[in-house]
Amino acid sequence: MSQKKEHLKASKPIAILVDGGFFLKRYRAVYKNGKKHKPEQVAKNLYKMLLDHVKQERLYRILFYNCDPLIFSFTSSPFELLIFCAMQ
């Protein structure tokens, strides 16, 4: 069996969840002229970063999300309390 196939059998598949808003903020701060990069270049750089991050493991999937912070409220039935949640 080739060394590459052995490596793939031994490695675990890794899925990475990327917070789009945070990533783009950091990307523009870290990369020189990052604000001027086209989306294709940003995607290629993100892919390279993630491959470097997982090193010897197998990158299975990249999940990229970009949404507003979660804000909701609910009532706690035993105490009839209104609970407001905001996550940022």
What pLDDT score does 12 carry?
81
Packing angle, helices 20-30 and 39-54, rounded to 10: 100
Report the pLDDT value the prediction gives residue 46, as an integer from 0 to 100. Answer: 94
| Residue 70: per-residue pLDDT | 64
Residues of the chain with pLDDT under 70: 1-10, 69-88
Q: Which pLDDT value is given to residue 5? A: 61
Q: Read off the pTM.
A: 0.64
pLDDT of 68 reads 73
Distance from C-alpha of 6 to C-alpha of 13, rounded to nearest angstrom: 14
In this predicted structure, what is the pLDDT of residue 3? 61
Q: How many domains does the chain have?
A: 1
Domain that holds residue 33: 3-87
